[in-house]
Amino acid sequence: MIKTDGLVTIILVSFYSDQQIKKILKQIPSKYNVIVTENSLNEKLKYEIETIYKNVKILIPSCNLGNGGGINLALKNVKTKYAFYIDIDIELKINSIEQLTIVAEQHHGWAVLAPNIINYKYNSDYFVKKNFQKQLSKMRFVEGCALFFNFKEIEQLGFYDSKIFLYYEEDDLFFKYLKNDLDIILCENIFISHKGNSSTDDVYKFEIELNRNWHYMWSKFYYYKKNFSYSKGIKETLAQFIKSIFKLIFFYLINKKKFLVYKNRALGLLNSYLNKPSWRRPNIK
């Protein structure tokens, strides 16, 4: 029988997510250590959570690091063999952490394991080799909402690109690991549920939407520029830039919210085209 105790640390990233963070912590068995990067810098939440949960450590960074940056900070504080990052709007299934740990102990040469997501179907082109060895598939890409990291294999290669604040951070990470002959594996018979785009409390919903649109376009161009070429980045994004310009003009007088969405999409791409950093942050006070 494979022993799994003490092998994995759970990682979470929180941003104005007080209710969600409390909900997900109730799902995690107390035998697991949990590290949370609190990107909204809420010292009160840190005190409250650490008082209730003795297995949880809240990290308060100097500024909002974004999702990948928040995971990086937590990973640097992990002392176990494996780390399991999960979005805080995930619903874990019974024994899913233990099942992933067993798979991790039985196989070698992998960088990341990912559980399957209920009601989500992967495109066929995401698969490198489907269903090898008991429902384990080699992948080009898996959803980044739940990732089980193998420290022994990836420590020398590093983690997320700190220049990416949001979006395409997993694409970039997987591209790096695959280039170095490390597998990304989908565990097809281990399941979780993912609500999606609901990690932040609802009161901040529209500002978060604007921020997502800005960074989605910034990061898309940056990913292609970094890993392929500047011209490849232009090819992959120019149609979206032109569409965003037409849409923001169209909605200028008739729909302020849609105007702001397309304005942020266009500005995100423009900043990326000009090689400016991903500077935008949610305007939440």
Give the largest CA-CA distance in the chain: 66
Q: Whole-model pTM?
A: 0.91
Domain residue extents for the chain: 8-194, 202-273
Each residue's pLDDT tens digit, 198-246: 556 667 789 999 999 999 999 999 999 999 999 999 999 999 999 999 9
Torsion on CA atoms 69, 74, 79, 81, rounded to nearest 10: -60
Closest CA to 90 of 43, 147, 41, 140: 147
Strands 183-194 and 90-92: antiparallel
Each residue's pLDDT tens digit, 17-37: 888 899 999 999 999 999 999
For domain 8-194, give the fold: Spore Coat Polysaccharide Biosynthesis Protein SpsA; Chain A (3.90.550)
d(CA 196, CA 144): 11
How far, in Å, are 63, 184, 234 from residue 16 at the CA level? 13, 31, 34
Torsion on CA atoms 186, 192, 197, 203, rounded to nearest 10: -160
Mean pLDDT value across residues 90-109 = 92
